[in-house]
Structure 1
Amino acid sequence: MTAPDYPALESELIALLGARGATSDMRQREKASVDGARMSPIIAEQLPLGIADLVAFPTTAEQIAQVVGLAAKHGVAITPRGKGTGNYGQAIPMPGGLVLDMSRARTVYEVTEDTITADAGAPMTVLEQAAKAAGKQLWMYPSTVHSSLGGFLGGGSGGTGSIAHGSNDNGFVVALDVVTPESGGQLVHVEGDEVLGYVHNYGTAGIIARATVRVEPAQDWRALYASFDDFYGSLSVLRELGKLTPAPRLVSADTPHISAQLPPDDAIPADRSSLRMIADPAIVTEASAIIEAAGGRIEEVHEGAGVSAALSVLSYNHPIEWLQKSEPGVYFHVEVSGDALIDRIDEVHAVYPGGLLHAEAAYTTPIGMLAGIYESPEAVYAGMDKLRALGVGVHNPHQWNVDFRLAQTLELAAQTDPRGLLNPGKLNPDYAGSTKGAIG
């Protein structure tokens, strides 16, 4: 096979995008070739996993499609990138090639009664603001609130709003405009069940260039901060709070040790278990009564435009990130789910040395991030088996292979990307979701 002619591709990209729209500058290539992989000590030990030969910065969905068409013409691998906040290596260009940085494609097109449409690079915060201006709110957005729309759909799952709506493959996505190496530099519009072929698979079957997702009537949220003497108290009310109506947008709980690592805040006492809730005003009184009846105390209740985002950034992965920052090189985490997180918390904590759970109320069953003191990959994987034996669902974040609808993605990619140009290294057909795999 003829080696790609990168200088020729760069010239064509500059002609399309302008002088600042494509680069082979080493600093830019290095910057575009990393993501949040260092959150995983297992993956961090393997870095660097790859570096781009070129980086392109399209500003519209149509330009995204044209860039993919040019790269495909030259047989160049294409790794899509939003804000680079993917945690586990999914945005690293393992074979080199072109990094397609979509962060400049930020246009929000329309807010309707039920939907909002935007280019893939639009930050979720921008979409939420546009929705609010029309009296609406997003069904959900990730804890990394500045993530791009395309990144959240291609590599994310759920977040703020997931108590009511589940993950982002549960009706959130209405339509997509995607591009593939076989589409000749043109956008392909998909709707309905077809959108699932491009969600959660890191752009390996097609790159999301524009998306239409669900909105609903805006609510005037409150940020409720509470605390308990210990983690048992917070866990004792987590499920009940998550079942209140109207559904909370978020309910998060941390052990006292994790709480002490969060950004300083009088509403998060460092020596107590913090419980935080994004609640509709209609349930604040009921939620407060539940908390106080269980021995907790209400620290503060905030209102205003920014309360939802303020608590969102203290949810899901983020408390574990603060823990890792406070004690560098000590902790790893795995993603966990199930009622055993509450009913068997002592056994769950005991699986890993120094075990610490960050917990979230969720759509059907509690979920969380279980941190432990890192010893070796083998110890991490052995712990996953122990967790499964306790009835805990486990997702392994310490790998980068597609682990959602793998068989269907392989089948689709065989049609849309027969040369394997889209995000190579992330679609291993032999991956079977074993101990080193995904959903347990």
Structure 2
Amino acid sequence: MSVTVVDPARIDAFTLELRELLPDAVSTDDGDLERASTDGSHLSPVIAAQLPLGRAQVVVTPASVDDIPAIVRAAVRHGVPITPRGKGTANYGQTLPMAGGAVLDLSRLRRVVEVGDGWLTAEAGAPMIAVEQAANRAGQQVLMYPSTAQSSIGGFVSGGSGGTGSIKHGMLHTGFVTALDVVHATEDAELVRVEGADTEKYLHKYGTVAIIARVTVRLEPLQDWRAFFASFDDYHDLLGVIRQIGRLEPTPRLVSGDGPVLAGALPADPAILPGKASLRAILDEASVAEATALVEAAGGTVVDVRTGAPACIKLSMTSYNHPIEWLQKAYPNTYFHVEVIGDGLVERIDELEAVYPGGMLHVEAQQGRPIGMLAGRYSSPEEVYAGFPRIEALGVGYHNPHQWFVDYEPEATRELAAQTDPTGILNPGKLDVAATVDTGSQL
């Protein structure tokens, strides 16, 4: 695949201006450009086969939120595309500079600005684990955090959907974010405060409508969490109990499950037994006894119950997309996945896993209906897409993750971008939806 680049003369003029303004923030070093042009796209063999999707020509790493407007104004003047980036943990190319130009690396903006009663403000590059720890020190917790706890808060709200805590609180667009400081791509770019429901227009948009500089999220009182591990001889027995555990009160923060092969690919842990299906949950201490009774009544065994935030964070790293990533590490160049949702994940599991050769389901308890990642052996994009009608025929919703463009409210996103980015320099390529790509509609 050929890589698009911006006219070098424009890049040189932009770089010269920024070096005079922010001499320590600008790099054209090959190593820095390469690092800024890669992300977690290896998770998708469909996308990996198309790499590289773009290459940065300059990387700008501001040390202050107040530097962002000047950077954006310069990019507008010189017509240089600008792609925002946090920790680069995006799995499908969302942070790759498809039009070349500049990557705006926000990883130095790591400060937790303030913690209040029921809220916290952090700079966009602050790691989610640091945000959670700051909340904990104040006797509070964030409503949810992603399974990649080292990812940045800006990256999470720009590219995430939900995570650890979403059984109770739903997805990002249900009141998680209360305020944003953003920068629009205009000639007079400045920090703009956005609050309440207006923040939703900027969430899960991959930085195509604005650069997110600071994020304010809701907090709730800290709970006494436990990392809960159980095993089952039969994956069907695990599936039979996962919805019940997800409905416990106080509401669990996470409930995940895998069959023996998927569980065996996870990082070695004495609580994940070889050859067994593995159920892993983050439970309020008050619900551990009831969860234990449910597991034992379903024929399972509680293997371990661990205390402390580190144990819970570690358990989170085996949820959502992560089991698929560990599976790919254990069996390189073998597996792909599709995101799925519905009671059919439990009630029609054998038929669902038969959709793809080598089919295996990672399952998560969630509000209303379980969600999951259906893995299968990869042969071609056409074989991936051919499975979608068969999934739907089972009454199961799906989402095709093998694309890099905004597919959450794309028309509204384009309408907003026409106002906030009139020259189209913000993360170009991420609003170009190919009509032939089936993204799914039920997840």
TM-score by length of 1: 0.97
Cα shift at 1:12: 2.3
Query: What stretches of structure 1 of length at least 5 have no aligned partner?
Result: none
User: For the Cα contact (< 8 Å) 2:76–2:187, is it kept in 1?
Assistant: no
The 5 Å alignment of 1:1-80 reads: 5-19=10-24, 21-80=25-84
Q: Give the equivalent residue in structure 1 for 2:3.
A: none
CA distance in 1 between partners of 2:376 and 2:96 (Å):
26
CA distance in 2 between partners of 1:163 and 1:435 (Å):
30
- The answer to whether 1:397 aligns with 2:411 is no
Which aligned runs of 4 or more in structure 1 are off by greater than 3 angstroms? 1-4
1:230 to 229, 234, 241: 234
- Name the aligned partner's letter for residue 200 of structure 1: H
Q: Give the equivalent residue in structure 1 for 2:256.
A: 252
Counterpart secondary structure, 1:92: coil
1:437 to 414, 436, 439: 439
Cα shift at 1:183: 6.1
- Name the aligned partner's letter for residue 355 of structure 1: G
- Name the aligned partner's letter for residue 189 of structure 1: R
Which has the larger displacement, 386-395 or 222-231?
386-395
Identity percentage over the alignment?
Answer: 56
Matched pairs, number? 437
2:338 to 319, 334, 340: 334
Q: Give the equivalent residue in structure 1 for 2:281.
A: 277
CA distance in 1 between partners of 2:169 and 2:343 (Å):
19
Cα shift at 1:185: 3.1
Cα shift at 1:422: 0.5
Cα shift at 1:70: 1.5
- The answer to whether 1:205 aligns with 2:212 is no
CA distance in 2 between partners of 1:397 and 1:120 (Å):
24
- Name the aligned partner's letter for residue 14 of structure 1: R
User: For the Cα contact (< 8 Å) 2:250–2:284, is it kept in 1?
Assistant: yes
- The answer to whether 1:379 aligns with 2:383 is yes
User: For the Cα contact (< 8 Å) 2:77–2:187, is it kept in 1?
Assistant: no
CA distance in 2 between partners of 1:194 and 1:425 (Å):
24
Cα shift at 1:8: 2.3
The 5 Å alignment of 1:127-138 reads: 127-138=131-142
User: For the Cα contact (< 8 Å) 1:396–1:439, is it kept in 2?
Assistant: no
- Name the aligned partner's letter for residue 223 of structure 1: A
Q: Give the equivalent residue in structure 2 for 1:241.
A: 245
User: For the Cα contact (< 8 Å) 2:231–2:302, is it kept in 1?
Assistant: yes
Cα shift at 1:60: 2.3
- Once superposed, what is the RMSD of the aligned Cα atoms? 1.4
- The answer to whether 1:163 aligns with 2:167 is yes
Cα shift at 1:132: 0.6
User: For the Cα contact (< 8 Å) 1:80–1:207, is it kept in 2?
Assistant: yes
CA distance in 1 between partners of 2:397 and 2:192 (Å):
36
Cα shift at 1:4: 5.2
Which has the larger displacement, 97-106 or 191-200?
191-200
Counterpart secondary structure, 2:265: coil
Q: Give the equivalent residue in structure 2 for 1:85.
A: 89
Q: Give the equivalent residue in structure 1 for 2:321.
A: 317
Q: Deviations over 1:197-238 (max 9, x none)?
A: 110110111111111011100011101100000211111111
Q: Deviations over 1:93-126 (max 9, x none)?
A: 0110000110111111111111100110000001
User: For the Cα contact (< 8 Å) 1:163–1:250, is it kept in 2?
Assistant: yes
Cα shift at 1:68: 1.5
- Name the aligned partner's letter for residue 146 of structure 1: Q
- The answer to whether 1:368 aligns with 2:372 is yes
Counterpart secondary structure, 1:5: helix
Sort the Cα spacing of 1:4 and 1:196 in 2 relative to 1 into closer, same or farther, 3 A: farther
- Name the aligned partner's letter for residue 406 of structure 1: P
Cα shift at 1:3: 6.7
User: For the Cα contact (< 8 Å) 1:142–1:152, is it kept in 2?
Assistant: yes
Cα shift at 1:10: 1.5
1:143 to 125, 143, 147: 147
1:420 to 395, 402, 424: 424
